[in-house]
Every structure is written in C-alpha cells, then in structure tokens.
Chain A
Amino acid sequence: MARPHIEPFVDRDVPFKKMTLPGFPKGMQYKMLSLDTDNGASSMTVLFEPGYKQPPGMSYTEYELFIMSGSVTIGEKVWGPGSYIFVPAGVALEPLSSPRGATGLIFYNYGEPSFVESDSDHPQAERDRFAAVNAYDNLHWTSTNFFPATAPGCMVKILRFDPRTHGFTFMYCMTPNFWQDNISYHDCCEEAYHIWGTSWMMQFGDLPTGGYFWRPPYINHGAFASKLGILAIGRTDTQLYNHFHFNPWTNIEENQERAASRMLHRNPEMYKWVNTHGHNHPIDFEFDHGHSHGDRPHHHGDGMVEHKHKKKRRRR
C-alpha cells in the first residue's frame, strides 16, 4: 500500500489540469484524487472537453471509467451518466469521443495512466474481463451484503467484483436522514467519491458533493449521518468486513490486533493453519500458483511477506 491517507479531500476546491502524459490526445483534463507513490496507480476526476476524440487504444494497466455528466461515445454506443466501463490491461478500446463533453471518474489500478494507440489487443490482454453497464438505468439498489451490515438506508449497486480478492467497485447511496451510530474499520483499503450530497463522519466532519477519500486499512470512521442523502461511488482492494465498535480513540495497531483476535474466533482452523504451516505459501488450485512470477504474497516462516525472489539463472 503506497497511497497516503487522503481524507477528506474535495475536488471542487482545485482546478482541472491538462493531461500531458505521452499518448493521450488533447482535450482531456483531470484532478488527481490520490496516487500510489510506488506504481503510479491513480484515481482522478476527469473532464473530456467538447469535441474530444481518442483513437482506438489500450492502457498497460486495467482501468475503470465512470461517467458522471455528459456522455462519451465508444465505437457506436453512447454512454451517459451512470455508465461504468472496466477495461483490462492491454484491451484496445474502440475510438472514444465526446461531442458535447463529459465529466467522470477514472481509476488506473496498477500503474500510472497510459494510452497507446492500437486497434488490436495486446497479446497478454484478457478481453473476456471487459465489462460495461449503465448503473443508473440497468442496476437495482440492494441492501449491503457485508456482515455485520451497515444500518438500513445505505444501499448499493455492485459494478464489479473480483472473485479472487473480493475487492469490488460499487455505487452506494444513503437515504435522507440516514444515521448509523457506531465506529467502523476494515481490513481493506477503501476509496469513495461523492457524486452528489453531503454525509458526516464523526472523525472528519462533512463530506460534500465532490468529496473524496482514500483510506488505508484499520482506520476508524463513523458514526455516520446524512441529512439529505448522498449518491457515491466506492471501491475496495480486498474484502470489506465491517469491524464495528464504539471506542473513538483506538489507533491502527489496536484495531489490527482486534481484527486478528476476531479472526481467531471466527476462523480458528484457518488462523491455526496460517500460523503454523511452514512455507506459508497457500496455493489456490483455481488460479496461478504465482511462485514462478514471485507476485503472490507469502513468507518462508519468517513473517516477511513483502520480499522478492532473485531470478534463477537458466542453464543452457
């Protein structure tokens, strides 16, 4: 995790900047919401100027685009407010244009924003993961399905769910006069942007329209309230579990300790296995083992999860 705790930040307080990175056509502007200082992954508010035209092309990182106002045309199809488009790394998007302009949110998940003009996919692209939906028109609000659950009046539309990490992207709303009297923290990073409306949190005060946060794991937030309701978009990097409590003064270490203790009681066999299994490199038969790439977190009995393997020299 290499993004600092950005909370709260209101993008209405800062001007748009021109996108100057190589490859991007003229007419795209952005406001940086948060940025991973290691890999350049970025969350941004984006403005496509009227007349914006982007040729077919791909990004080296997967990205997510959500349209808040105006519309963009991708290929032949027009995507208006509420449209959500998930583009895996290397997938060539059809030409994108915005004759009358549009604003949205764009999340480059694993690297800095990149655009390479191309009318065909990169050989490593996984086109089957591409997804696009208009969340305003074609998805229903449902109760949250995280347990323990948020109070009645907070509802979600799931835009994308990662079956491996359980990280997800979702719209959420709070009804007028929503209130939830507890304090929460999660094991995951959490990020959100207010498309409309103001909500209040006991730690940070009011978060208005254009309000944003990137919150690393185990940070207290809540109690919660919203007088007139809100419409927002949220994201997590792994499973969102609500660790509720009512102590306003706990810190990250105490919250982590408590989360581990709760895991011991909730999943005792798993807890025991993780703590005693020598190599500690759990293998998911459904997915790539990861050892060959060194890209799956594990340790060798020393607890050092964040390490890299030296590349072995191949004998000729």
Chain B
Amino acid sequence: MKFIENKRSREAEAWLKKEIAEQKRRYRKIVDEQEALSPKRDKWIADFLQRIQTRGVHTHYDQMRKVRPEEIPVKPKRKFKVVF
C-alpha cells in the first residue's frame, strides 16, 4: 500500500497552494539562471564535441569510441533550452 485514501484538510489545501506558488517562482528563477549560463554552455559544448573526436565518447562503462568529424551534430536553428 503506497497511499491510503483520506480527505485532505483545509489547512493542507492552503499549505499546498502556497508551496505550489513558491515552486512556480523557483522554476522561473531556474529558467532565468540557466538562460544566463548560455555563453558558458556553448563553450562547454564546443569543448565536448572536440574531445569526443580525440579521446572518444563513452558508450558503456570504460568503453569509448572516437567520433568521426562527419558524425558531429550541427546545432539546429530552433531555440535551445535545457530546462523543460
């Protein structure tokens, strides 16, 4: 039994409402912070795409393979986001 049906109290409803509102604010803050990280992230991605051609990409545990230049993905034109 993971959950036992019960009637949620008025206090619990009010508590939830408040927490949900706070979570919405927290989420928006995270989105903004991650948006501001974009220039650094672009550099990290460029470094990663370089490394997987020289040192390799992990495929399983310690197994790695070097990625060929023609396999390197091209950044799509659509907006790039990391928080969904």
Contacts and interface: CB of A to CB of B under 8 A. Distances in A.
Note whether A and B form a binding pair. Answer: yes
A151 B61 contact: yes
Interface residues of B, number: 47
A181 B51 contact: yes
B2 A249 contact: no
Contacts of B83: 5, 7
Interface stretch (A71-79, A106-114, A133-141, A304-312): A106-114
Q: Which of B5, B19, B64 counts the most A-chain CB atoms under 10 A from its CB?
A: B19
Contacts of A61: 2-4
Given A89-B4, A109-B2, A216-B84, A149 B23 contact: no
B69 interface: no
A202 B12 contact: no
Nearest to B27: A4
Contacts, number: 138
Q: Provide the main secondary structure of the chain B interface.
A: mixed
Given A4-B23, A112-B12, A249-B76, A181 B2 contact: no
Contacts of B40: 205
A35 B27 CA distance: 11
Nearest to B34: A204
Interface in A203-259: 203-205, 216, 219-220, 223, 244, 246-249, 252
Nearest to A200: B44
A269 interface: no
A40 interface: yes
Contacts of A204: 34, 37, 82
Contacts of A151: 58, 61-62
Interface string B66-81: 0100000101100010
A6 B4 contact: no
Given A32-B19, A32-B23, A124-B4, A152 B82 contact: no
Given A5-B84, A180-B58, A248 B73 contact: yes
A125 B19 CA distance: 28
A109 B3 CA distance: 8
Interface string A1-28: 0001111110000000000111000000
Q: Which of A4, A90, A109 counts the most B-chain CB atoms under 10 A from its CB?
A: A4
Contact of A8 (B30, B52, B58, B67): B30
B63 to A, nearest CB: 8
Given A109-B2, A112-B15, A151-B58, A181 B48 contact: yes
Q: Which 6 A-B pairs have the closest CB atoms?
A: A110-B3, A148-B60, A203-B82, A247-B73, A149-B61, A182-B58
